[in-house]
Chains A and B, each alone.
Chain A
Amino acid sequence: MLNRIVSHTVIWGTVILALLVTAPTESLAQAKAKAKPKAKPEPPIPVPTRKITIDKVDPATKSQVLTSAAKIDKLIEANYLKTRTKPNEMTSDEQFVRRVYLDITGTIPTYKQTRSFLINTDKEKRTKLIDTLLNDEGYARNLYNYWADILRLRDREVTNNAPGKLYNEWVREHLEANTPYDRWVSEMLTAEGKYLDNPATGYLLRDSGMPLDSMNNTVRIFLGTQIGCAQCHDHPFDKWKRKEFYEVAAYTFGTATRRGGNDKRFGGGNVVNKMREELKKIDDKFDGGGKYNRFLQGNLIEVYDNGGKLTLPQDYQYDDAKPKTLVAPKAIFDPQPVTSKGDTPRVIFTKWLTSPQNPRFAKTIANRMWKRLFGIGQIEPVDDIKDETVPENPELMDFLTAEMVRVKFDVKEYLRIVLNTKAYQREATYVEVGESEEYHFPGPVLRRMTPEQVWDSFITLAVWDPEKYQMEPAKVQGELLDLDLTKATAEEIVKRDAELRAVQAGKVRDARNKDYTYKGQLLAYASELPTPMPPGHFLRQFGQSDRESIEASSEEGSVPQVLQMFNGTITHMILHEKSFMYHTVTEGKKPEERINIIFMTILSRRPTDEERTIAMEEIAKHNAGGYGNVIWSLVNTREFLFIQ
């Protein structure tokens, strides 16, 4: 990015350069070349990438989509009448284009994208744009960030000695392929085998060693139901009995997440200890400690059914059963699971959970996706549904659930329907949505962008071709780590270890990152950065989850966020003469044209007359510096951070 030659610096460049106290940063490659002019040119370091295939919407279902959208509007409008709710005005094209880009692709549109939409006179341009964006890679990036928060995806490790990236990428690929939701959830819950061979096991490994918490999380995430209290005692605010918790947990309790080093397949003795002794013989520096654990322990991580049975705890305190008695599996909702011959309890449970007949599976995902677009669910909170819960509009909730089932859990198709509703395309509600009164969806609520949306929007402003940057594919590490411990030799492990260190070396990372690094910060979309970012990073300041608890992402403001926007690296980057922003603005020739471009780039709208006058005055006063001030000011508006 920074190596690009910008051809439009003539008018503006000299002046803005004078504004830049720091000289344009050289890329690492350039700096090295200067430092060692006579060194032999090194062969280029390969930068492997992953082929991304994004599933496309079906043009043939368009009329059905519009019919369903109209039905949703009918149900909502009936409720407006009943509750005397005045619907909001329809969004202007300017409001719509910004919102729909953010909601689908997770970033604001570029100037060109905004402009081409605004000047388009096609009557169906909204529906067409929705389809275009659903077919864009940004769709999967944005949805991945959403699931990363729920599934607590982290790169470092999904469990000890198992790098999370493989599982994360597995999730990502299913979102790209738009695998039906019930199917990829099933695959995770029933996954078997070694993690390094089958990353879908990552879901169960995330709560490795905590089978009861794992069940609690599964029911909360996929059935929108909280049974956690009943882990220790009867639920105080819901109907769940402690016994019921144990009964449902019994389905998955017999799932092991680690193969013992003493397993007979390894021919007697502990394979880890044996191998360590071998490794000591050929690696002088190896002290028998954890150095090779990612191979030795990592290849023991495996999900399999061990037939373990759950018994009630020692402190079981109710009269309906005795402590330490065996628990027979039973599901928490009817219809009870259908048991087929040969199915493990985990498979039986999963079939029950993901069935269209399960009263909360389809409902939960329909409600979650509704909330993603409206900012508030038909049912709130989305993960605490109780028997007595009444959705805001029960008929609508039923219809949404039925639609989710009708489209066979094709989440993209479902979003396509909701995005095409009039209700979604109305303006955001002006007034505060209160603590207690019910919201009847006169339009979406005003939302601050998610942490990833704020960051990705800054990336859109600053960076050339950000979609071309990809994080290292997980298989680079995964294939090197994957070994068959029944056969592997110490020599092989030492060799693999060296290879792994080589691909993880700084220069390999630099080769990938060099064109996307500014002042030490990697400027790539959030989905391509390590997850979670360390505390103190822009994303964390804006509320990115630490990935320790489910849906811990936050949209709250704070002083460090404001300081970041005032003075942070990425704000600086936007004003750099080699930034994409600079390039976009200098494509305009006259001040008025440039002001238009600046507003349309940052806020996706044209300036009002008054704003134009203010901006013109600023530019008259400070010449080129005035442009910088206008840009800086606009990214620092609250309007920039919120989705109208």
Chain B
Amino acid sequence: MFDTLKNLDITTRRLFLERAAKSLLGVSVLPALGSFGFGADDKKKPMPKLPGGGTASHVIYLFMTGAMSHLDTFDVVGGRENEGETKPVQTKVSGLTLGNWLPELAQHTNDLAIVRSLHTETADHEAGKYLMRTSYKEIASIRHPGLGAWMMKLNGIRTNRTLPDNVLIGGDNRHPGAGFMEPTYTPIPLGNPNDGLQNTKQPEYLNSGSFQARLDLVNKFDSGFRKKYPQKQVEAYTEFYKQAQALMGSADLKAFDLNLEKKEDRDKYGMDAFGQGCMLARRLVENDVKFVEVTFGNWDMHTDIYDKVGTNAGRMDHAVATLLGDLKSRGLLKSTLVVITSEFGRTPKINQNAGRDHHPGVFSGVLAGGGVKGGQVWGASDKDGHHPADEGVTVADFNATIAHALGLKLGEEIFSKSGRPFKVAHDGKPITKLLG
């Protein structure tokens, strides 16, 4: 570690020492650092108050799957050999530049906190996505819950609501969902935002007796099987039946229906699936849905990156800028944390096929709204965009920052069925300076 320290330039070294000192002095020592063995009693003690925590109540989590190139989007500083065809554009914040594919977000940098020194070890998409969503490495013996499930679990289930608290737009089959937690925390997946939640109307063709009577019949026919196989995978369906039934006929279903939006408003987000997904996320948050993830694919640009990145980044730019503006004008930005992230970055060197390959060494993530102090950049990549220039931010740290913004207790342990303890952001420490 001290070797690394020696190699750092003076400013980063000072920063590093400053933070190290703070942790030593207890400013950011959390119960999460549980290696000292916090007993049950200790847990009841009030936690040290961290600055900025807890002002966000909702999350819109935008996941760029396939790995977004940091060097063509949020980590474009100009004058670097590896920037390819992407040019830096000046943004509203003096000295802060973005890639030229993001002209609209350049007008919103006052609200953005850009972390440029994220890094992980894995260059495998699935492993990277899993880590990003759960803060834990994927292993065979257990499945960890995603952030949305954690949020519901730690805040407690709300009653008297038919709308779900955890929604996944754009679908991702390998999403960790509720992991080992109860199925009730599973996000509701919506494949296509334009379709909203499908099949919510009771079958008109079955009009003999009530829907409830038919469900009773289901339960009678199914009782033998359920008794015989008392397994989570079976009981999960029981939970989904309950949720599905609650949703059917609920007036709240309007929240899922983009057709209720004006055409020109929909156009502002872009009529592509991600644009509409962002708009649906806004509608859901407006209806008090707590955690909405929108996934946006096609970032895996191994070939001809400059034929492709303009389209993808352009859509992202358009949709996210509109989303931020929209949340702001509705007074929702303060309480809604918007996150842009990806499983890793892409190689600084352009490959022989004019593309960029997988690069976990360093990449960028963005936070906005929800009490985040905008207009700042945290950390930096080195001169080649290869590694963090400072000690870097781990995925767990990044997620701890999100959890902290939401006021979740980072140290609270939740136990899996086999008794193993897990925490919302694993061993991550929040970057409190990103929060206001």
Binding site for B on A (CB under 8 A): 19-22, 208-210, 212-213, 228-229, 231-233, 236, 314-315, 380-381, 384, 428, 430-432, 434-436, 446, 448, 534-537, 540-541, 543-546, 548-549, 552-564, 566-568, 571-572, 575, 608, 611, 614, 618, 621-623, 625-626, 628-630, 632-634, 636-639, 641-642, 644
Contact = CB atoms under 8 A, between A and B. Distances in A.
A532 to B, nearest CB: 10
B171 A540 contact: yes
Interface stretch (B49-57, B109-117, B182-190): B182-190
Contacts of A566: 199, 202-203, 244, 248
B171 A629 contact: no
29 contacts: A19-B205, A209-B353, A210-B302, A213-B357, A233-B121, A381-B140, A428-B229, A430-B229, A432-B232, A446-B229, A448-B233, A544-B173, A548-B297, A558-B186, A559-B240, A560-B198, A560-B199, A567-B200, A567-B248, A621-B209, A622-B209, A623-B208, A629-B208, A629-B213, A632-B203, A633-B214, A636-B214, A636-B218, A642-B225
B244 A562 contact: yes
Given A446-B233, A545-B173, A549-B126, A380 B140 contact: yes
Contacts of A557: 183, 186, 233, 236-237, 240
B140 A209 contact: no
A535 B225 contact: no
A435 B141 contact: yes
Interface string B69-90: 0000000000000000000000
Contact of A236 (B121, B164, B359): B121
A638 B225 contact: yes
Interface residues of B, number: 80
A171 B107 CA distance: 51
Interface of B: 66, 121-126, 140-142, 164, 170-174, 177, 180, 183, 186, 188-192, 195, 197-209, 213-214, 217-218, 220-222, 224-226, 228-234, 236-238, 240-241, 243-244, 247-248, 297, 302-303, 349, 353, 355, 357-361, 386, 416-418
Contact of A629 (B183, B198, B214, B222): B214
B140 A562 contact: no
Contact of B224 (A431, A572, A608, A629): A608
B372 to A, nearest CB: 31
Contacts of A430: 228-230
Contacts of B192: 534-536
B142 A435 contact: yes
Contacts of A556: 177, 186, 236
Contacts of B213: 629
B248 A638 contact: no
> Max chain A CB contacts within 10 Å: which of B170, B209, B233?
B233
B202 A567 contact: yes
Contact of A634 (B221, B233, B360): B221
B206 A229 contact: no
A595 to B, nearest CB: 11
Contact of A559 (B191, B244, B355, B361): B244
B188 A558 contact: yes
B174 A549 contact: yes
A543 B173 contact: yes
A639 B247 contact: no
A537 B191 contact: yes
Contact of B221 (A448, A535, A541, A611): A611
Contact of B123 (A229, A608, A618): A229
A560 B253 CA distance: 13
A455 to B, nearest CB: 15
Contacts of B121: 229, 233, 236
Contacts of B206: 19, 575, 625, 628-629, 632
Contacts of A549: 125-126, 174
A549 B225 CA distance: 34
A19 B123 CA distance: 56
A560 B303 CA distance: 36
Nearest to A21: B204
A229 B123 CA distance: 6
Given A19-B207, A639-B225, A563 B247 contact: yes
Given A557-B240, A563-B198, 18 more contacts: A19-B206, A213-B358, A231-B123, A434-B417, A435-B417, A536-B191, A545-B173, A549-B174, A554-B174, A557-B186, A560-B190, A562-B241, A563-B197, A566-B248, A572-B203, A608-B224, A628-B205, A629-B217
A56 to B, nearest CB: 35
Contacts of A209: 302-303, 353, 355
A170 B174 CA distance: 28
Given A229-B123, A559-B164, A625-B209, A432 B220 contact: no
A611 B219 CA distance: 11
A541 B192 CA distance: 11
> Which 10 pairs from chain A and chain B are nearest by CB?
A625-B208, A535-B191, A536-B191, A622-B208, A639-B225, A562-B244, A209-B303, A563-B199, A633-B217, A536-B192
A638 B238 contact: yes
A482 B203 CA distance: 49
Contacts of B226: 638
Contact of B207 (A231, A553, A554, A625): A625
A232 B123 contact: yes
A614 B217 contact: yes
Contacts of B218: 633, 636-637
Contacts of B228: 430
B240 A561 contact: yes
A436 B217 contact: no
A23 to B, nearest CB: 11
A130 B248 CA distance: 43
A212 B357 contact: yes
A374 to B, nearest CB: 16
A428 B230 CA distance: 12
Contacts of B126: 549, 552
A207 to B, nearest CB: 9
A85 to B, nearest CB: 18
A4 B397 CA distance: 63
A456 B177 CA distance: 26
A623 to B, nearest CB: 8
B289 to A, nearest CB: 13
B185 to A, nearest CB: 12
> Max chain B CB contacts within 10 Å: which of A231, A537, A623, A633?
A633
A403 B276 CA distance: 53
Contacts of A568: 198-199
A380 B142 CA distance: 12
A518 to B, nearest CB: 13
Contacts of B302: 209-210, 213
Given A435-B416, A536-B192, A641-B237, A575 B205 contact: yes
B49 to A, nearest CB: 36
A562 B215 CA distance: 12
A611 B141 CA distance: 39
B284 to A, nearest CB: 14
Nearest to B172: A546
A535 B173 CA distance: 10
B222 A639 contact: yes
Nearest to B352: A209
Nearest to A548: B297
B189 to A, nearest CB: 6
Contacts of B208: 19, 621-623, 625-626, 628-629
Contacts of A434: 417-418
B118 to A, nearest CB: 16
Nearest to A447: B233
A543 B123 CA distance: 25
Nearest to B140: A381
B221 A563 contact: no
B203 A637 contact: no
Contacts of A546: 171-173
B140 A560 contact: no
A13 B176 CA distance: 47
A155 B84 CA distance: 33
